[in-house]
Structure 1
């Protein structure tokens, strides 16, 4: 049975938060990530839960996550294991489906995106309820090839789908809980295109997209490149075709409306968040052996 989170604030009920962390072969990092997220949200005064979705890892990711759960006695934590490895998007959707928070966020397990953005996003969605918040990278410390492939992927998605965002692929996003559970828990795209499908769903349902500037920290090299981009050409075309049909159907059915609602997007420039703080190595649980198995192949 799923138990909803309850805010402990008596004078003002702040929204509760579910943080989804998809993980594949993240034994070296997952415990530290969970504890860092807990520390930041506790300090900000939020009631929250952490949901780790393990995508059939071959290392000790699950045991490391369970160790972190035991350390975080006052924080509801759940570890969910997928029965088939279909990609990062599938893992995120599984987490969304079991979440209970008023707000639901997902973030990468390696802390490449600063978790300090979570309270900022939550505060904005508390002020603007019918909105979602997404990170966008203003500084990029990755090698030139990773930067170029990322920009090419984003430009292709933007041109094909007309999304009003600066960065479709940043691995840190927050949505209203009802929206995530209703619209994002059964995706068509289960890989890195899941981010684009989620943003399209937000746009099509009239959510304002608030963009939060962050600095991405490159922690490890990526294996995603030109071949992964080419492999996504067909599903990206399918997404564009579906979006085009829905757009024209909507225009046809609302011809009598003289002032159609535009796509809403807000870019913040004043609250830049940089490198995430990390707990001392002694807080990251029992030492896990180095593992060179592939992690999520993403085009950040």
Structure 2
């Protein structure tokens, strides 16, 4: 099937990822998208305190053929704020979120694009908990927390997602840019889910993806406080917004 030329905007929020940012960019460069799709890479440096900026600038200088737009915050504001900046500047037909660590595999973009390109979906979530894709075994209570947050989110959004907190979410750009997003940190996931679920006639799909999780010693940043914030966001944007 022939598709018209379209662009996927890849938004990378980066905070103290100087040791891995070039590796994820190498992976992005190697990705061959289906459906006559090109890539637009938007990196938002959320005022990193390590050598993230130097790593990005060095990579851009060595790879002038790669379409990278580099943006940065003068003050650290949080992952959600970095995503807001990236979303605002995106120009592609679709937007996908890519963390700067190595937990998610860009080679699986085509899995998320497939329901969209076939005309079935407007939004696609990549679930770490369905399918036979590789999944690193890590923290029991972290997985229980993920399932609890997904259950609460589903209860208020009336969706049946298996992984609301996934880092791989793909949106039609007009839908995502049409949402009024407020959360500055990790509350982005439950907020965007609650709000996209209320978009009239939106078609949300879910596909299985791989997950190469990091330990806290390896740089994982989310902690139990973000879990409580997620519960607050589920109630605020999922329940109270309907009252």
Calculate the TM-score normalised by the size of structure 2: 0.85
Match for 2:198 among 197, 204, 213?
Answer: 204
Gaps of 5+ in 1: 1-10, 246-300
8 Å CA contact 2:35, 2:117 repeated in 1: no
Residue in structure 2 matched with residue 220 of structure 1 by the alignment: 215
Residue in structure 1 matched with residue 171 of structure 2 by the alignment: 175
8 Å CA contact 1:62, 1:79 repeated in 2: no
Residue in structure 2 matched with residue 5 of structure 1 by the alignment: none
Residue in structure 1 matched with residue 6 of structure 2 by the alignment: 15
Residue in structure 2 matched with residue 158 of structure 1 by the alignment: 154
Structure 1 segment 83-162 matched on structure 2, within 5 A? 83-128=74-119, 131-138=122-129, 139-162=135-158
- RMSD between aligned alpha carbons? 2.3
8 Å CA contact 1:35, 1:72 repeated in 2: no
CA deviation profile, 1:168-199 (whole Å, cap 9, x unmatched): 1110111112222222xx41222222122222
The number of aligned residues is 233
Query: Is 1:28 paired with 2:19?
Result: yes
Q: Using the alignment, how far apart are the partners of 2:148 and 2:161 within structure 1? A: 15
8 Å CA contact 2:191, 2:233 repeated in 1: no
Stretches of 4+ aligned residues off by more than 6 angstroms: none
Match for 1:48 among 21, 34, 39?
Answer: 39
Residue in structure 2 matched with residue 8 of structure 1 by the alignment: none
- 1:143 offset after TM fit, Å? 2.2
| Residues 94 and 147 (structure 1), Cα distance of their counterparts in 2 relative to 1, 3 Å cut | same
CA deviation profile, 1:112-162 (whole Å, cap 9, x unmatched): 122122122223212226511111112452122322232233233333443
Calculate the TM-score normalised by the size of structure 1: 0.70
Residue in structure 2 matched with residue 70 of structure 1 by the alignment: 61
Higher alpha-carbon Rg: 1
Q: Which secondary structure state, in structure 1, belongs to the residue aligned with residue 209 of structure 2?
A: strand
